[in-house]
Amino acid sequence: MGALLDIAPPRLEALCALLAPYGLEVRVVPAGEAIPGSYWGDPEAGLIGDVLYLRPDTPLHSALHEAAHFVCMTPERRAMLMRDAGGDDAEENAVCYLQIMWADRLPGAGRARLMADMDAWGYSFRLGSAARWFEEDAVDARDWLAARGLLPEV
Predicted TM-score (pTM) of this structure: 0.94
Q: pLDDT tens digit string along 12-45? A: 999 999 999 999 999 999 999 999 999 999 999 9
Kindly list the strands in the beta sheet with 51-54, ordered across the sheet, starting from the edge strand earlier in the chain. 25-28, 51-54, 46-48
**Residue 100 vs residue 2, higher pLDDT:** 100
Give, rounded to a whole angstrom, the gap between the first and last alpha carbons of the chain: 26
Q: Which of 94, 106, 107 is nearest to 134 (CA)?
A: 94
Bridge partners, residue 59, by sequence? 6
pLDDT digits (tens, 9 = 90+) for 68-108: 999 999 999 998 989 888 889 999 999 999 999 999 999 99
Q: What are phi and psi of 4, to 5 degrees?
A: -70, 150
Q: What is the per-residue pLDDT for 34? A: 97
Closest Cα partner for 98 from 62, 140, 65, 137? Answer: 65
